[in-house]
C-alpha cells in the first residue's frame, strides 16, 4: 500500500485521504512529481509525449520519492495555446491508464475541465488538481461525483493573460479570502472539507512582489486548517530575481521548497524529485526537533 504524506491537524487528530483506493497518509511532507504530456509547457514541454516516455518518467519520479504523479495535458503558462477536451483527453488518458496499471503511486490529474476530471478518475487518477479551483462550468459538480481529493488553487485572471499587470491591495489577505470562499462553495456542494487541499498559486496572476510577499507570510495559510500544496519548481520568478534560464533554476527551486516546508507546506510540486525530496526530508527532520 502506498503512503504519501502531508501534515494537518483537525480536532488534534491526524487524517488520511483516500485517493482512488490509495491512502494519502498525513504524516510528513511529500513531493508531487510533475508530468506534463504537452508540447508547450515552459520547462518540459515535448519531452514526454509518448506513453512509454511518460510512464518511464513517472517510474523514475516514483523511485526518487514522489508520492504523487501530477499528469497535465494542457499548458497553463502565459501565452500558451488552448486545447480542446478531445486533445487533452488523448494526451492524458493513455498515460494515466498505463501508470495506474504499472505503478502503485497516486495519480493526480491537472485539469480544469469537468469531462477530463471524470474520465481521468475513471482511468485511475485519485486526485484532482485544478488551477481554476473548480470555477469552470460543470467542474464543481464533476468533482462532487468523482469523490476524490481536490486541490483548489488561487489564480487572478486566466492563464493566457494572468501576468498582464496583476493587482492586489493585500495579496496575502486576498488569496486567503479566495481560498476560504472556494472551500465554502465546495463544502456546500457536497465535497467533504477533509478532501480539500489548498494552493496559493505562486506565479499565477502575481507579480514578483506578490510572490515574494506570499513566501514571507506563507505560514499564515496554516490558519485555514487544510494541507497546503506549493509549486515553485523552475518558475520565472526565479529568473526575475537571479536572471537564470530555466535549466539553471534547480538550486533556487530547492531553496524555495525548503522555505515553504518550514512554513507549513505539505505537498511540494516539483520537476526534480530526488533533489527536492532530499531537501524536504532534511528540513522536516530539523523541524521535528523539540
Q: Which residues are catalytic?
A: 235, 269
What distance in Å separates the CA atoms of residue 164 and residue 118, rounded to the nearest whole number? 32
Query: Among 140, 133, 105, 85, which residue's Cα sits nearest to residue 35?
Result: 105
Q: In the chain, how many H helices and how many E strands?
A: 9, 11
What distance in Å separates the CA atoms of residue 38 and residue 16, rounded to the nearest whole number? 32
What distance in Å separates the CA atoms of residue 62 and residue 55, rounded to the nearest whole number? 10
The 8-class DSSP code of residue 79 comes to T
Residue whose C-alpha cell reads 524529485 in the numeric block: 273
The 8-class DSSP code of residue 98 comes to H
3-state secondary structure of 50: coil
What distance in Å separates the CA atoms of residue 2 and residue 23, rounded to the nearest whole number? 6
Structural contact between residues 256 and 279, judged by C-beta atoms closer than 8 angstroms: no
H or E element, residue 22 = strand 22-25
Q: Is 165 exposed, middle or buried (0-12, 13-18, 19+ CB in 10 A)?
A: exposed
Judging by DSSP bridges, how do beta strands 22-25 and 3-5 pair with one another?
Answer: parallel
Structural contact between residues 268 and 190, judged by C-beta atoms closer than 8 angstroms: no
Q: What are phi and psi of 268, to 5 degrees?
A: -110, 115
Amino acid at each position: 500500500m502506498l503512503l504519501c504524506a502531508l501534515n494537518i491537524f483537525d480536532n488534534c487528530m491526524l487524517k488520511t485521504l483516500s485517493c482512488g483506493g490509495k491512502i494519502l497518509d498525513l504524516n510528513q511532507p511529500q513531493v508531487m512529481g510533475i508530468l506534463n504530456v504537452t508540447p508547450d509547457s515552459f520547462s518540459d514541454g515535448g519531452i514526454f509525449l509518448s506513453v512509454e516516455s511518460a510512464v518511464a518518467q513517472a517510474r523514475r519520479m516514483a523511485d526518487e520519492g514522489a508520492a504523487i504523479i501530477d499528469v497535465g495535458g494542457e499548458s497553463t503558462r502565459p501565452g500558451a495555446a488552448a486545447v480542446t477536451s478531445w486533445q487533452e483527453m488523448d494526451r492524458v488518458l493513455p498515460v494515466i491508464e498505463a501508470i495506474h496499471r504499472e505503478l502503485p503511486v497516486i495519480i493526480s490529474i491537472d485539469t480544469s475541465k469537468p469531462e477530463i476530471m471524470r474520465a481521468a478518475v475513471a482511468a485511475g487518477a485519485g486526485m484532482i488538481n485544478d488551477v481554476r479551483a473548480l470555477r469552470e462550468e460543470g467542474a464543481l459538480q464533476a468533482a462532487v461525483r468523482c469523490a476524490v481529493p481536490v486541490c483548489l488553487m488561487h489564480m487572478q485572471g486566466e492563464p493566457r493573460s494572468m501576468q498582464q499587470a496583476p493587482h492586489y491591495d493585500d495579496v496575502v489577505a486576498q488569496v486567503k479570502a479566495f481560498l476560504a470562499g472556494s472551500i465554502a462553495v465546495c463544502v456546500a456542494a457536497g465535497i467533504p472539507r477533509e478532501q480539500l487541499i489548498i494552493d496559493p498559486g505562486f506565479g499565477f496572476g502575481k507579480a514578483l512582489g506578490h510572490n515574494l510577499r506570499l513566501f514571507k507570510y506563507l505560514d499564515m495559510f496554516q490558519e485555514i486548517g487544510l494541507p497546503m500544496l506549493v509549486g515553485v519548481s523552475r518558475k520565472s520568478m526565479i529568473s526575475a530575481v537571479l536572471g537564470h534560464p530555466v535549466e539553471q533554476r534547480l538550486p533556487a527551486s530547492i531553496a524555495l521548497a525548503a522555505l515553504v516546508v518550514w512554513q507549513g507546506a505539505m505537498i511540494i510540486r516539483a520537476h526534480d524529485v530526488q533533489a527536492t525530496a532530499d531537501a524536504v526530508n532534511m528540513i522536516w527532520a530539523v523541524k521535528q526537533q523539540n
